[in-house]
Amino acid sequence: MKTLILGAGYAGLAVATKLKPVSGMQVTMLERYPYHVFWTRLHEAAAHNTKVTLPLAPLLKGTGVDMQNLTVEAVDLDKKEVTTREGQTFTYDTLVVGLGSVTNFYRIPGLAENATELKDLTDAEDIFSFVQRAYDASYTGNRDIVVGGAGLTGVELVTELAQRNEILSKERGLPPFGISLVEAGPKILPVLDDALRAKAQATLDSYGIQTLVGHRLMQATADSVTVQTADGESRVIGAGKIIWTGGIQARDIMRGEKLQKGPGNRVVVDATLRVPEYPEVFVIGDMGLGLNQDGKPVPTTAQHAGQQGRLTGKNLMRLAMGEELEVYEPNTLGEFISLGGLMAVGWMKLPWNQKLAMTGGLAHVMKRASEWRWRSSIS
């Protein structure tokens, strides 16, 4: 039986590290990078150049998985074929797709052309080098940064940038650059309850970050964004660097006559995370439309991608043994948002569906603990 796993992110790597060599089962993994990226720490790479990668080969030892460093170009479900940019074609009996998501620019004029995303290592490098340039004494351009989107990624990024700003300003004796966070919705971090949101907002304020909620980004040029309030008031904000973290959508790479997609372009899957019309195909992580116990889409997070991956790994082993597949039951264990340095806010699930809210150093430790749990689950 030929099994192909596409992507070694939070979902795909969790699948692969759950596997054991089984006679008759041949598993190949296709991943564009030779390393796993801790995407949840990409904002740290953008602000501080932190290393956020781990080589894949040692993680796959003992799994029987053959990792090939290739970029998938197309997945044809009707032909059961995967083709790569490098010109290879792979066929499969079972396919697992976990190729993640891409930025959604919502066709806002000028945004895709002028904004940096925070979706890849090159984006982090680009932001880091802008900050370095802004603190070069010979730099004469606009030093201010505008970030669009006040969800988890946007807030984690602006707070980390603010920390770096403080350090460099003291070190180089130059005034800090301005940071604005623009959000079309009525509040930052909609995933949090009001009390935790207020803590997060207070932290943004203490860093001097200008937060503009209820301001829709209407247009971007090379050096400015135009924002508009619900009552039509419009304003232009100059920027040396524009960063867009305001939306994602599933990577659009799969083709199939009977393939169905839902919100955010996510592929419709059944209770075992398989595509109903193509039961030999599992779609997991940000690409799949996994549903919770109330029939609502699970959030696109590393936590859920990892859970889906671990379940799919187990289910591949069950398939190989001719056993029934286990059903997906997501479990949101908590949510922690880093606010720069040792500051964070979040909550942890307690028995009987109670939530324990945390702020400050303790929340930071919990955030780090969830990252270490992930590391130990794949090692």
Please report, as ranges, the residues that interact with ligand FAD according to CB under 6 A: 7-12, 30-33, 37, 39-40, 42-43, 71-72, 98-100, 118-119, 152-153, 156, 251, 285-287, 300-303, 305
Q: Cα–Cα distance between 106 and 112 in angstroms, integer?
A: 9
* Nearest distance from C-beta of residue 218 to ligand FAD, angstroms: 24
Q: What backbone phi and psi angles, to 5 degrees, belong to 342?
A: -100, 15
Amino acid (one-letter) located at 257:
E
| DSSP state, residue 254 | E
Structure tokens belonging to residue 334: 């908590």
Burial zone of 209 (CB within 10 Å; 0-12 exposed, 13-18 middle, 19+ buried): buried
* Nearest distance from C-beta of residue 147 to ligand FAD, angstroms: 11
Beta bridge partners, 334, equal: 348
Pick 39 or 207: Cβ nearer ligand FAD: 39
* Nearest distance from C-beta of residue 92 to ligand FAD, angstroms: 15
* Nearest distance from C-beta of residue 97 to ligand FAD, angstroms: 9
Pick 147 or 226: Cβ nearer ligand FAD: 147
* Nearest distance from C-beta of residue 77 to ligand FAD, angstroms: 16
Pick 82 or 226: Cβ nearer ligand FAD: 82
* H-type alpha helices, the chain: 10-16, 42-48, 56-59, 111-114, 121-134, 152-172, 194-206, 302-320, 360-378
Pick 83 or 229: Cβ nearer ligand FAD: 83
Is 37 within 8 Å of 305 (Cβ atoms)?
no
Pick 158 or 237: Cβ nearer ligand FAD: 158
* Nearest distance from C-beta of residue 138 to ligand FAD, angstroms: 31
CB crowding 135-162: b at 16 or more within 10 Å, else e: beeeeeebbbbbbbbbbbbbbbbbbbbb
* Nearest distance from C-beta of residue 183 to ligand FAD, angstroms: 16
Is 222 within 8 Å of 258 (Cβ atoms)?
no
Pick 100 or 226: Cβ nearer ligand FAD: 100
Give the closest residue to 218 by CA, choosing from 310, 99, 315, 110. Answer: 110
Question: Which residue's Cβ has the minimum distance to ligand FAD?
Answer: 9
* Nearest distance from C-beta of residue 121 to ligand FAD, angstroms: 9
Pick 37 or 77: Cβ nearer ligand FAD: 37
Give the closest residue to 330 by CA, choosing from 355, 367, 294, 363. Answer: 294
Burial zone of 218 (CB within 10 Å; 0-12 exposed, 13-18 middle, 19+ buried): middle
Q: Cα–Cα distance between 9 and 12 in angstroms, integer?
A: 5
Q: Cα–Cα distance between 22 and 3 in angstroms, integer?
A: 12
Pick 303 or 359: Cβ nearer ligand FAD: 303
* Nearest distance from C-beta of residue 300 to ligand FAD, angstroms: 5
Pick 178 or 334: Cβ nearer ligand FAD: 334
Q: Cα–Cα distance between 210 and 166 in angstroms, integer?
A: 15
